[in-house]
Amino acid sequence: MTTTPVSGKQPIIAMRNVSKVYGCGRAAVHALRGINLQIEEGEFVTVMGPSGSGKSTCMNIIGCLDTPTTGSFLFKGLDVGGMSRNQRAMLRRYALGFIFQGFNLLSRTSALENVELPLIYRGTPVHQRRERAMEALRLVGLEDWSHHTPGELSGGQQQRVAIARAIITNPKVLLADEPTGNLDSRRSKEIMELLTSFNRERGITVVMVTHEANMAVYASRRINFLDGLVDTDNSTGGTN
């Protein structure tokens, strides 16, 4: 694992001339074409762009699920490209939280057991993880639903369980991929207010992919991708 020289405060996420190419020769797909991007700790950033623009590839690299073909991705000054697969897995486990459009909950287990999962992977003792899982459910307003399975919960409630699972590890960065894509407008607003509260009250850096302009306004910064490049990068001020 390598580090860059420390000069003042390091951004939590930095991409330097990052490109990503899938395939080779005539079949090569240039998903990213040398992007430069920096996200400071505590920001709430929305990533937007049409299908095929590179935003998902960028998020996969930030989430340590993929690595650049060329260029550098730094997490708090650490060169992620210089890490082993196990080191990247540890970074995901201890520094990142993930929220997905499809919730990705285990259907036959309770809300409490779903929220506990990241702590099981860490080897946290049962009594500690149960206590922390209940606290996470309380934070999203679902402590009274802890023993219900996903099939017994509404879509909005399932996404709240997914958020509780994502924050139980106290992540530095929360990566949200279309978190309101399967929800109606009322539930979408509730989820966005939750994400905003975790960003403002706990200082969690939030990076969210969305196609919905009315959800993007909750963020303080909007980055638009186009053809594998950062097209625009603007502060928005947020709405709340």
Domain assignment of residue 73, yes or no:
no
Q: Which tokens hold the place of 72?
A: 């550098």
240 residues of the chain, pLDDT tens digit each: 333 334 457 899 999 999 999 999 889 999 999 999 999 999 999 999 999 999 999 999 999 999 999 999 999 999 998 899 999 999 999 999 999 888 899 999 999 999 999 999 889 999 999 999 999 999 999 999 999 999 999 999 999 999 999 999 999 999 999 999 889 999 999 999 999 999 999 999 999 999 999 999 999 999 999 999 999 999 876 655
Domain total of the chain: 1
204 lies in some domain: yes
Query: Does the residue 148 lie in any domain?
Result: yes
Is the residue at 171 inside a domain?
Answer: yes
Q: Is residue 6 part of a domain?
A: no
- Answer yes or no: is 69 within a domain: no
- Provide the Cα torsion 39, 41, 44, 47; round to 10°: 20
Question: Does residue 68 belong to any structural domain of this protein?
Answer: no
Token pair recorded at residue 110: 């309770």
Type and span of the H or E element at 182: none
- 33 belongs to a structural domain: no
> Tell me, what CATH number does 185's domain have?
3.40.50.300
Largest CA distance in the chain: 56
Q: Which residues contact 148 (CB under 8 A, 6 or more apart)?
A: 110, 111
Domain span including residue 150: 42-60+86-235
* Residue 61 CB partners (closer than 8 Å, separation 6+): 15, 18, 20, 32, 67, 68, 73, 80
CA–CA separation, 106 and 99 (whole Å): 14
